[in-house]
Structure 1
């Protein structure tokens, strides 16, 4: 056999100069001057906010976003900042800037947003880092075919097993089914990857052509779950053994909650974490439970919750509606805050009344979980000064003409039973950050709850400086770094103070108020 005969079509195309360098016609190619999803007119941040900022600070802030943030509202704020249509910082390549933002979105579990962001860059401009980040997003959304333009353009630049299996999948979906089948058979025989990985790729590739053949998936010897396996199994409708998902990790909840191809029970089971973290909105969570309510033979805890939610919305009396919400709030299971997210709009329908004063704090917390501050403020005349409801409203008010009454603060501190008075510490930090406490009183109040809001660090000096120069994008990125963690016990009052203060000063008062109120509700 001659050397030419042994070459595959990609190698021949490259040898003969036929390999495409672009997948978009010249007239349709996009500029890299601004990359992102949300323009300023659509709610994004100012497009040149970072243009004159040092690349090193922006790079460090984005790289420092290692995973989830403690705050649901912090997550929502950070997603918006990362998805905004922005010019790259001074001295940073726009492709690197897109890759850093998409990578941060992936680590937050926002794979769909990351995928849309990388798609705003023409595939011909992708470098290795953006390609790797994009593949993570495509796998996170079970959209393997979405990666094919990059796979085709970059060809043999990579030789790792995943890339080779993706090449075969893309061949199958471009009409080269026989070639894809041959390549995957070879991959299976040479064991370039665990058998289950190649078999799933065969099942996925086989769905593209008419010459489909049965592929038997053997899970018996599989000991763990991976994003690749989950994405392919989800895409082809293969059932994953429950034992592999029991302790697989938070990643699978984040991708399952928003995967429309999964069965409703699986999405419901994953929805609590996604709602608590900010991946799912209150409306999206209600939609999921509405689907449960519409299925007559749906059983178990989700069905009971759906029944209660229906009563919470349309019960015959306010008392019945409140009783249903209280039953939802007291339910068992992970991610308890998600139950407040679920009832937010039902809580907003409750008429303010002294009859419900004992539950006003929880009702207000539920409303603020969805940002319904106007509805929550209707309860201002009901809540007792010094109560949790009063504290939440003191933080949530868009405008306040006078400082908070320190006597009411003292009452809140005295009644606080949270660990290490965390709620009191967060309340003080939030009010101080919003400028709602007299400066002269902060020192004495800080001593009462054992915090030092004046303490500084390199991070605090950076975020304060970003606020001084009125840079909302950099403040948002640095706030994301300051909110890293799996729970509010990982948050400090000092960090909260600087985050709330900086956000408020750069015009992101709504985010500042909601983060502060959430801290007190969840602390």
Structure 2
């Protein structure tokens, strides 16, 4: 055990030397994001290879002791001067020194694995009993089968808080595997930094095979190949992933062992072929090390897709990935790219919009990115840029000028992402606009923009104007009806029926479901939304709410949204989700999810 721990610590030390680069599948049979052949199911670990016998080149053979070394006479046999062997004297002095043993972590100083999570109840966590007495295998099974990212930004934000909450390991599941499942789901949601917080909360010598898989994916998702270095030795003991030799080469280069890194890369070139994209990306990381003298040009022609290996190594070296490949990689990979520090910020703008839409980035994060872009522009260029227009949206001299700037950003296709993402970009600016009757025609977008970032009270200031607009203000009215802290607009049954008649069955029934779930409308069944829990999922989320398990409710809410967009979410599911969240004290989150539904439908 001491030798194994020492090996881990030495590898971790190597990872820190000459560091030039900053620092995921289902349960059972995880779908690897690594390149083909990288991540095939491993067999049982083989026994350690015996030490190889000396070669013939060394002058000895196995079982034959080396010949004795002749010693020089201590008495001069001639009148020639005698020179002392200074190197031998230094070696003798070194041997006499006391070499400190490898550092061992006492058991009492180890970090616990039975309770892990950076968010406590007083810091946005859902509480120590967030999952209550729920069965661990049920929870991990739901996590493993969840299709992420989710169609709802606010449901994703809530699920992130649940997964990061400081909670104990539920029954019938391994401590470390429980943490690994939470991190793996966060990765699939696009939450690379959140996943890393969980992975790094566990000491490497306590990793399970499942955690090794997730830790590798986390290192790649965060564009941090150096994070692979402490995993190589112990990881090889439990898995037979074929990317370990490439990882070892990169870590050797980052640790200043240029010749060894080159030797390992050359060995893999003979095995994989010189044009293998995964090898070339690893060699590019090696080239970032000290004295490696390797320059690699990456050509994406012929590459069929982006996986975590390709994303992680390309992003770590600041290499841009073509849009054609990124478009097929999924929204979660775009969210990884949005926070990759080595990629130029100008190349991360569209990815940042996507990250905001799926709940990874906030309004403040988007504004910060465009502010950094603006700081680097020439004063003559900033006025017509997105950064300049965003600045006018916040600080222009009149409200009319601000609103014009905001409207220009909503309609600006060059920003990228969908329109909801652009509403998030302007949320804080829209929230600062007072309720003006002269801008009633834009009330729907201004209310939607403010509500997209949770400015519910400021959005509610438009209630009196919206109520007086009749059916012409239906969009803003529906958002305020479910998103405002209280009943600030008319939600009488006759008003709801008029909305259902005007808007059609989809938006109308979703409004009915949200209002009923919030307790603001009675008898939703007469308006087409059945409130009874008719299926197993509805019964489970209702039971979790009764048992006061907000974490379980958040997870089941995400399960109830397994569809590509809001159009596919059944109204009866929205009713059960909003009702359950309100029962466990998450009224604000319930209202934001309902407001998002009315905004995006």
Judge same fold: TM > 0.5, yes or no.
yes
How far residue 301 of structure 1 moved from its aligned partner, in angstroms, is: 12
Residue 159 (1) aligns with residue 240 (2): yes
How far residue 445 of structure 1 moved from its aligned partner, in angstroms, is: 2.2
Gap runs ≥5 in structure 2: 1-50, 56-100
Rounded Cα–Cα distance in structure 1 between residues aligned with 2:207 and 2:223: 21
Residue 311 (1) aligns with residue 392 (2): yes
2:517 is matched with 433
CA 1:161–1:305 in structure 2 vs 1: closer, same or farther (change >3 Å)? same
How far residue 300 of structure 1 moved from its aligned partner, in angstroms, is: 11
1:10 is matched with none
Give CA-to-partner distance per residue, 1:279-307, whole Å, 9 cap, x none: 11001111122223334369999964333
Residues 22 and 124, structure 1, Cα contact 8 Å, conserved in 2: no
Rounded Cα–Cα distance in structure 2 between residues aligned with 1:274 and 1:156: 37
How far residue 261 of structure 1 moved from its aligned partner, in angstroms, is: 1.8
Residue 3 (1) aligns with residue 39 (2): no
More helix by share: 1
From 582, 587, 594, give the equivalent of 1:516.
594
Rounded Cα–Cα distance in structure 2 between residues aligned with 1:301 and 1:412: 44
Residue 320 (1) aligns with residue 401 (2): yes
CA radius of gyration, larger in: 2
CA 1:434–1:313 in structure 2 vs 1: closer, same or farther (change >3 Å)? same
Residue 84 (1) aligns with residue 165 (2): yes
Matches within 5 A, 1:134-283: 134-191=215-272, 195-241=276-322, 243-245=324-326, 247-283=328-364
Residue 353 (1) aligns with residue 436 (2): yes
Residues 268 and 302, structure 1, Cα contact 8 Å, conserved in 2: no
From 458, 479, 494, give the equivalent of 1:375.
458
Total equivalences in the alignment: 501
How far residue 152 of structure 1 moved from its aligned partner, in angstroms, is: 3.0
CA 1:246–1:94 in structure 2 vs 1: closer, same or farther (change >3 Å)? closer
Rounded Cα–Cα distance in structure 2 between residues aligned with 1:485 and 1:23: 49
How far residue 161 of structure 1 moved from its aligned partner, in angstroms, is: 2.5
RMSD over aligned Cα atoms: 2.8
What's the secondary structure of 1:378's corresponding residue? helix
What's the secondary structure of 2:319's corresponding residue? coil
CA 1:52–1:4 in structure 2 vs 1: closer, same or farther (change >3 Å)? farther
Residue 472 (1) aligns with residue 550 (2): yes
How far residue 443 of structure 1 moved from its aligned partner, in angstroms, is: 2.6
Matches within 5 A, 1:6-25: 24=105
**TM-score of the two chains, using structure 1 as the length reference:** 0.89
How far residue 61 of structure 1 moved from its aligned partner, in angstroms, is: 2.1
Rounded Cα–Cα distance in structure 2 between residues aligned with 1:305 and 1:241: 23
Rounded Cα–Cα distance in structure 2 between residues aligned with 1:518 and 1:322: 22
**TM-score of the two chains, using structure 2 as the length reference:** 0.78
Gap runs ≥5 in structure 1: 7-19
Residue 287 (1) aligns with residue 371 (2): no
2:418 is matched with 335
Residues 292 and 298, structure 1, Cα contact 8 Å, conserved in 2: no
Residues 161 and 193, structure 1, Cα contact 8 Å, conserved in 2: no
How far residue 143 of structure 1 moved from its aligned partner, in angstroms, is: 0.8
From 107, 114, 137, give the equivalent of 1:33.
114
What's the secondary structure of 1:515's corresponding residue? helix
Give CA-to-partner distance per residue, 1:174-215, whole Å, 9 cap, x none: 443322221111011111796221122122123232343333
Residues 23 and 123, structure 1, Cα contact 8 Å, conserved in 2: no
